[in-house]
Every structure is written in C-alpha cells, then in structure tokens.
Chain A
C-alpha cells in the first residue's frame, strides 16, 4: 500500500525511477565529455589561477611586507591589515608616520610585487616603461615595476592583481543574483507552463494585493528610508529591507487565503498563463539595448560603487538562465518519475525543488559561464568609460582608460586589455566546453 510508505521510502522509489532513466550517472558522463576537450580543460586551469590571484591578491602585490622585523619586534603586516580592516586592532604609530617602503627593516619578506594599487612611487612616476630606467634611491625596498607605471607612479602590475578581485566579484555576485531570479522564473514557467498553474481566485487576488502593498509600503511609505540608505552606500541593507517586506506580505497573503478559501465563490480556480508571461518579459528585456540602459542608470547614481553595477547586472542578465531552466523543465516535467512524485501527492514546491530542479541544473552552468564572461566585460567597459565605478577604484577598465592619456605608454593598453581578454576568453571557453559536453547530439 502506498499510504504506508514513509517519506524516506517514497524518496527512494522516486530516486530509483530517476536512476532508471540514466544508466551511468549523468554528472559522470558530462565530466568525461568535458575533460575530452583539451582547450576547455586548460581554460579551467587558468580559471583556478585567476581565482587564486583574486583571493590571495594581497599576498602577491602589497606595499606591506608579509613578514618583517623592526626594532626587534616581529610583524605580519599583510595579515594584520585584515584585522585592521575588521576594526579589531590598529596600526602601530610608526607604520602610520612613515611609508611602508621607506621603513628600516631588520629583516623583511616582501610580496613579489612590492606595491599596493594605490602606492604612488614618485621617483618612478610619469609613465615609466617596464624596460625603462627605474630609480630606487629613495625606497630601497621597492621592487621593479614589472609592468611599468602610470602618471602618478602607480604600479600597473599591482593594479592588475587587485583588479582581478573586482572583476571576479562582479562576475560572481552578478551571476548569483541572476541565478536566483532565473531559477525562480524559469522553473515556474517551465514546470507550470501555460495551463498547469491553477490557483484559487482568492489567492490570486490576495497575492496581487500583496504586490500592490509591497509597492506602497516598501517604496512609498519607506521611500526616504531606503533612499537615504542607498545614498549612504548601504545598498544591501535597502535590498534586505525590501525583501523582508516582500516575504512578510507574501506570507500574510497566503495565510489569509486558507480560511477564505472555504467560501465557494472565492475558491474557484483560475488558470494563469505563467509561461506566456515570463516569456514576454524575457522578450521585452532582450529587445532593450541593456548596456545603454545600464550606462544611464549607473550614471545617475551620485556615489558610484561597484556594488550597484553588480546588482544591476544581476537584475538584467537572468534571461539566459531562465530560458535554459525553462526548456529543461519542459522536458523533465513529462518524465515518469515526476508523475510518480505527483502520484504520491507531493507538493508542487517539493517536486520542483527536490526532484525536477537538480536534474535541470547542468545546462544552467553554460549560461552561468557565458554570463560571468559578459558581466566582467561590461564592468570593464563601464570603468573604461569612467561611468559607475568610483574614480579612485583601480580596475582593469580604468587602467586601460589611462592608456588614452598617452599613446606612447603601450604597457598601459596591452596588459590590462590582455587581462580582460584572457578572463573573458577563459569563461567563454568553459561555456563552450560545457555546451559540447552537455549536448546529447554531439555525444558519441
């Protein structure tokens, strides 16, 4: 008897039916296919390297030594900086009064590049070529500028290393937001299609009411609160606040439905063409030249920050992911194991999240890889144009922009551009590799 099954057993049955569809584990096949593509594997390795640079950038390029001994005392300034940033400790006064590179160390181990992105090496200012003459009379600790300097004597190599973190953060954060939205909308439209989303009148009514109230309470009643937060740079706080209102109103609306559903008129079901709505939305979004719109949005922000760029990019680049998820779920929802799960009387939510989505995730990786590539590219583009990224933040795009000041400083154009190009190519290659590995037609 089905009714006597406990939850675990039910899961086992569904799982077994799932397995019966694929003799070999799906992931294993895809992995095997992916590793056959030599270029993609190399791209993956370079990606690990870029990730390493992004995470440990402070240990690769820093004006502070990793380890040093002054007046018989031992310090670990690079690590110490993290504590200072967290507000746990403070710097010794001797470090504040004198520049790091000009200290008299008894012994010190410097990072390979002895400059932070904002260190101005005055003797080597005014566009010193990597092969040009560099002077280190004043700061004997200063290392060679491997990739040259710009007008103020900032080290290009250091800027590149630290720009890696910004680029990766933009790619990853923007895509995380895009994944959240894309998964949600794509799963809904794919699983329910145009006909299967049937909800009671009262639920529809109350949910639309909650959207209206969300608009009212989050944006109009508390508009100044949110506006002030955003103006002060607390974008995340503002978003969290809006989300709290949203979730609260949503829960309230759906709880209210339960008693009201008892009234027969209100409990009559209505069909919502979810798929149509989502696809229309995607169509509209895709027909707008988003880059120009992002340019306009970002330019009106008075206190620019990369965070805004990330959030806005995330908010507009979910369409690819949603499309992939939708088409996967359109396929999966017809499979037998989903029918079995429905027959068990599982809730739709449980079926989507636990049984349908995990099998639909692999193709999304393609969209994510290409999405990260384009997010990084757009961030570089914006900072190249000097819009949306604060003036004092050094990114690959802003370094490339410096090249326009002086045509003879080739190193300012070549190296940052190469960094952008390599990163974008790596993600494109990974995306290509995934596409091939996941394509059943190309599989032998």
Chain B
C-alpha cells in the first residue's frame, strides 16, 4: 500500500507542474506590460520630458522590472529560430522587445533591427534636449518616435520617417540656432538603418531552429520556486536601515522646500525693490532706504541659502548611504509560489497572498461543508432507493429517481439567482425576506464587541444556508444516483443471495454485507465531484457576494489583475488535485481487495 501511495504522489507532481506550466504560459499571453501597469499605479510625478527624466523613467522601469523578476528570460530554455539573439529579453520594455522581434520576423536580421532600434532610442534622447521654445516640432517629433516604437508595418514606418524628415528639413532651414540639425542627421541615419534592414532581407535564418538555454535564473523558476534558497534567511538589517533612511529623507524634504520657497519670495521682493529703485520717479531718500532693504534681503538670502545647502548636503549624505546599502543588499524577487508568495497585485501593489488567504478560508469552508452534507445525505438516500427498487415500491422509487435526476440537471447558478430573487428580498411578499442578501457574515455583528461567538456563528450560518444548499444539491443528486446504482449492482450478486438464504435479516444483508462493497465507487467519485463543486461554487460566490476565491477571481478578471487570477486558478487546481490524491489514498486504505 505504501508503494501505491508513493506512486499516486509521483503522478501528482508532474500533473502539478503541467498545470503550473499551462498557467504560466497563459500569464505570458496576457496583453499589457505588467511593469507599466504597476508603475502607472504608483507614480504621480509629472513627466516634463527632459533627458534626466527620460533616464530616470528608464531606471525606474528597470528597477520595477527587476523587482518583479521580469528582467529575466521567461523559461529555462527557449526554442527560437537562428535569427533571434539569445539576449533579446534584456531589451527593457515589452513593447520594444515586441518591435524588435517583429522586425526580425519580417526581415530576418537581428543586427540591423537592433541598430534601427538603438538609433531610434538615441533620437528620443536628442529630442529631449530640444529647448522648450520649439514646442511644436518637439511634440511632433516625440509623438512620431513613440509611434515608431509600436510600428512594424512598412507603410507606417515609411510614412513617419518621411514626414519627420521633411518637417526637420524645414525647421533647420528656417532657424539654424537650434540643434535640430543634429537630430536631422540622426534621423537620416535612422532612415539609412531602416533601408538597410529592408534591403538585406534574408529569411533563411528564420527557418532554422535553435535552442537557447538560460539556466535557473528565469521567470518561471522564480515564480514557482523563488530566487533565493529556502535554507538561507535574508539579512534584513540593510533593508530596515534603507527604509529608515528614506523616512529621514522624506522628513527633511519639507524643510528644504520651505527654505527654497522663502528664497524665491525674497528674490521676488528684491526684484520689485530693484524696479522701484530704477524707477526715475522715486526720490533719492526712498532709494536709499530701499537700497538698504535690498542689501539686508540679500544677506538674508545668503543665510537661507547656506541653511538650505546644509539640508541638501544632509539629504545627499543620506542618499549616499542608502545607495551604498542598496548595493550590498541581496535583491530577491519572490519566495516562489511553493512557499506561498503569489506575486504582487496590479491594482493595489499589495501582496496577492495576503488577499487570497482570507478568500480561501470561505471557499474551503463552504465546499467542505457542502461535500460533507452531500455524502451524509446521499449515502442513506442511495441505499434506500436501491432497496425500494428491489422491494418493488415503484411509486417511491420513481419519485426519488425522477427528483434526483431533475436536481442533477438543474444548473446551480440558476437556482442561486432564483433563491436570491425570491427569498432574500421583500419584493414579492414580506414573509419571503427570509435570508440576508449578500456576504458571508454581517460585518457589524462580527465587529461588535458585545456579540458572542455564538452570535457570529449563527449569523454566518444564516448567511451561508442558501449558498451551501446551491453548492450541495448537484453533487448530492449525482452521488445518490451513483450510490443507488452501485448498491443495486452489489445486491444482485451471488454472495448477497447466499446471505439471504442463510436467513440474515434484510437490515444485516444490506448494511453489513452489501453496504461496504457498494461504498467504494462512491469514494473514488470524490475526485470528480470535488473539482466540479469548486468550480460550481464560483458562480454561487458571485451571486451571493461571498468574498471567496471565486468572487475574487471574477473581480480580478474584470480588473485584468492577472497575478490574482493566475494565483487563484493555481490554488483551485491544487485544491482539486489534493482532493484527488486524498480520494485515491482513502480508496486504497478502505478497500482490502485492491492490489498494489
């Protein structure tokens, strides 16, 4: 038997990894760049489009990507064609990677495609150096460059290249003082790169397969196992100190801002004083006093400037220490799914795991109660209905079989909707408002310090009666029908006839001799009933607004919060597989006839 259980577990593991691969693959197919989604949620700073801002933005992107582990290759290996370089994943943004990959797909040359891309990027930087006076050309240029990042179709690229070239030509002819001529030259190089890419189209390399191996430092591995080994604890002193430092910096910032504000107000005053002094209408005595004021203001400005410099220096020092510590810190992305780290939610940047544990609680409770009830009711029901059939009590038998059949065919999301409609509101009659409409408990009862544990319990039961009924009845009907069939099969066997001939009471025949043998198929059915119950419960949770995993799943699908979606799908799959495993093992334990 031990061997059998080991065998089952050995099947469990590859199944688990197949599912995890499937879900990982799906998560890679979702649209949108996760880094951008998260950054947009986090940053509120306006982008003025200066070179420094561009660089800062890219750095922020890189940091976030590293934090999410998205700067790594996707999998242990990649099957691509010869044309694709191995380190394409190092190109930062997802849509930039897409552009390069599309260009390679069209023209077959990675080198030229990358040259085109890098030139495009350089131009983006040059554009940010254009003084803001040349606003129109600047906007035109940057919007075209942004479009070119997304465009891989020849007509589109060709059109944009020409349009910008003519615009630049005109601009440089009108005015030579700006540095547009540099950009014009760069643009011509870009056009040359593009033409070279097109001229050297050679697709043969695209048809030769090649395997790239990336090792353990990949996204799947990180997602599943995490990127630091479980036996090593992370030294958190650096982390804590860094957080402390950023707190201190944050605290110093207002003081710095106050100083610079007072400097600028003083400067404004000085400006006005200067104006008054220069004004020929003011007489000389006032000029003198004004001059005095000006001087005193200037000294004050200098003093404040000194103070400000001091604060700035302090901040810079703190920054320096933070940077030093950050260098020594061990960056890790994730502890891995297997250790309960499910990633970061797109919507609020919080850990998915903290959100799911609560949801899991309700789902597991509801499903376990439902399955337990289904088994507890269906087994005696099935046995009795088999007895009725054998005793020839046709009416009762027909009634129960028909009822069970109808119950089996009733979609539970329909019944759920009907129950919510008719029995949780007073729309139709006062007395029909029997149950609460939504949720798993009343929050005010749960949070009320005066309410006892019993109150909370009964409140929860009151809330959960309808949903649990909806989850239960389908499996109940199915199990009862199977139990009946299995019991009928056993009762027709010879050894039962022998038992009857021996003169045993009907009760003993059924419950002592037939029952156990007829029970085994029902135990194995657990593995097919449990996943069905779990997925059926999703709709029920939505209908009754119980914040279980199904509810969270649909909520997350609506918000396109993929980490939550895939974590929940994974967890439900794991739950179902564990159910399977338990059923298999139970079967082996209970049935002495099984061979190992």
Contacts and interface: CB of A to CB of B under 8 A. Distances in A.
A414 interface: yes
Nearest to B418: A413
B543 to A, nearest CB: 7
B405 interface: yes
A381 B536 CA distance: 9
Nearest to A296: B569
Nearest to A382: B539
Interface stretch (B181-189, B326-334, B406-414, B507-515): B406-414
Interface in A106-158: none
Contact of A420 (B105, B206, B411, B572): B411
Contacts of B76: none
A271 to B, nearest CB: 22
Contacts of A417: 411, 414, 417-418
Contact of A404 (B19, B417, B572): B417
Interface string A258-295: 00000000000000000000001001101111111101
A302 B209 contact: no
Given A404-B417, A421-B411, A428-B408, A221 B81 contact: yes
Contact of A288 (B207, B428, B557, B576): B576
A400 to B, nearest CB: 6
B557 A299 contact: yes
Interface string A169-183: 000000000000000
A425 B414 CA distance: 14
Contacts of A215: 79
Interface stretch (B26-34, B224-232, B275-283): B26-34
Nearest to A384: B413
Contacts of A46: none
Nearest to B408: A428
A405 B355 CA distance: 27
Contacts of A290: 531, 535
A151 to B, nearest CB: 16
Q: How large is the interface on B (under 10, 10 to 19, 20 to 34, 35 or more residues)?
A: 35 or more
B577 interface: yes
A351 interface: no
A296 B531 contact: no
A362 B209 CA distance: 45
A212 B572 CA distance: 32
Contacts of B424: 407
A102 B580 CA distance: 60
Contact of B80 (A220, A280, A296, A403): A220
A417 B410 CA distance: 9
A221 B557 CA distance: 31
Nearest to A289: B531
Interface string B422-460: 101101100000000000000000000000000000000
Nearest to B18: A284
A17 interface: no
Contact of A293 (B414, B539, B573): B573
A300 B19 CA distance: 17
B538 interface: yes
Contacts of B80: 220
Interface in A397-427: 400, 403-404, 407-408, 410, 413-414, 417, 420-421, 424-425
A404 B543 contact: yes
Judged by DSSP, the binding face of A is helix
A42 interface: no
B527 A287 contact: yes
A170 to B, nearest CB: 14
Contact of B539 (A373, A384, A421, A428): A384
B413 A289 contact: no
B311 interface: no
A300 B542 contact: no
Given A216-B79, A289-B576, A407-B425, A299 B418 contact: no
Nearest to B81: A221
A292 B572 contact: yes
A297 interface: yes
A133 B424 CA distance: 27
Which of B11, B408, B421, B562 is most buried by chain A, counting CB atoms within 10 A of its CB? B421
Interface string A88-113: 00000000000000000000000000
Nearest to A284: B15
Contacts of A407: 420-421, 424-425, 427
B535 A400 contact: no
B566 interface: yes
A18 interface: no
Interface string B556-596: 01000010011001001100110010000000000000000
A408 B411 contact: no
Interface string B85-117: 000000000000000001001000000000000
Contacts of B140: none
Nearest to B31: A302
Contacts of A220: 79-81, 209
Interface string A181-222: 000000000000000000000000000000011011100110
A169 B30 CA distance: 28
Given A216-B209, A400-B417, A428-B408, A289 B535 contact: yes
Interface string B206-232: 110100000000000000000000000
B421 A403 contact: yes
A377 B412 CA distance: 10
A400 B411 CA distance: 12
B22 interface: yes
A258 to B, nearest CB: 25
B468 interface: no
A371 to B, nearest CB: 14
B411 A385 contact: no
A420 B413 CA distance: 11
B423 to A, nearest CB: 10
Contacts of B14: 284
B41 to A, nearest CB: 20
A377 to B, nearest CB: 6
Interface in B1-37: 11, 14-15, 18-19, 22-23, 26, 29-31
A224 B209 contact: no
A11 interface: no
A269 B535 CA distance: 46
A387 interface: yes
Contacts of A300: 26, 29-31, 562
A93 to B, nearest CB: 35
Contacts of A297: 26
Interface in B210-266: none
B214 to A, nearest CB: 16
A380 interface: yes
A380 B409 CA distance: 13
Contacts of A385: 538-539, 542, 554
B418 A414 contact: yes
A377 B573 contact: no
Given A410-B421, A421-B410, 7 more contacts: A220-B209, A291-B538, A292-B572, A296-B23, A300-B26, A408-B425, A420-B411
20 contacts: A213-B209, A221-B206, A283-B15, A284-B18, A286-B528, A288-B15, A289-B531, A289-B534, A289-B576, A292-B538, A293-B23, A295-B557, A300-B29, A300-B562, A380-B413, A400-B413, A404-B420, A413-B417, A417-B418, A429-B405
